[in-house]
Amino acid sequence: MAVRPQPHTAPPALAPALALDRAPDRPSAAVLVLHGGRADGLAPPSALSLAGARMRPFSASIARATAGRGIALGRVRYLHRGWNGERADAARDAVRALDELAASCGSVPVVLVGHSMGGRAALSAAAHPAVRGVVALAPWCPEGEPVDHLAGKDVVLVHGDRDRVTDPRDSWSAARRARAAGAATCALRVPGGDHAMLRGAGAWHTLTVRLVTGLLGLGPLPPAVVRSFSGQDGPEPADATTVDRA
């Protein structure tokens, strides 16, 4: 019996991965913020997600600090709330967002700011040619995660020493391995800092803004970061409360 050919149907289009909060007519650079998530979970993130809400003050602080400077500001929207093993869904969404940003704003340098799973996604997506630097906040950095693609990038990992969700020692290891691979890295320890970045929240916001504006060339980077990037300091973490000491 003959089989009747079925009509071709195109796969459903994916929802946009980029949410632009500010899009200047002629942007000179861009910042994308990536919130946290879960190890596993195929359901979409909730609109009332605490992980997403936690990053709003960071986005607001960055927006104020870069107002009038021609900086596009946006967020990565995940299709799924989890990383989901080898699927690395959050990283895929980050790359899609970067491609969408290039289509919308042209070829501009990008700084990624990611927390927890979003930090892991930002570090992974830094292979994208548009990415100039990454600020990873309490990132999820599994041992053995690839780092060779970070060569030539500026990478700052910030982790609280009271984090019980992601291990700060994994961040320090990632910083050392990325430096060996050719990245300019700096590891910063936040004394008393927790995973949610609620203890001393204002200090987290202020430090992140300084790192972002410094990586974009809109202001000076803290001296400790400059020394670390240049290799004057070793790869071990510096105390985030002393980053301004010469």
Domain count, the chain: 1
pTM: 0.94
Residue 234 pLDDT grade (very low, low, confident, very high; cuts 50, 70, 90)? confident
Strand ranges inside 87-205, DSSP E = 110-115, 131-137, 154-160, 184-190
Residue 6 domain-assigned (yes or no)? no
Residue 192 domain-assigned (yes or no)? yes
Neighbours of 54 (CB within 10 A): 19
Residue 105 domain-assigned (yes or no)? yes
Q: What is residue 1's predicted lDDT score, i.e. its pLDDT?
A: 46
Residue 4 domain-assigned (yes or no)? no
Written as one letter, the residue type at 86 is E
Contact call for residues 155 and 133 (beta carbons, < 8 A): yes
For residue 63, what are the domain limits?
Answer: 18-242
Contacts of 93 (CB under 8 A, 6+ apart): 17, 76, 77, 78, 79, 121
CA distance 238 to 189: 6
Residue 9 domain-assigned (yes or no)? no
CA distance 14 to 70: 29
Residue 197 domain-assigned (yes or no)? yes
Give me the CATH number covering residue 32. 3.40.50.1820
Q: What is residue 9's predicted lDDT score, i.e. its pLDDT?
A: 54
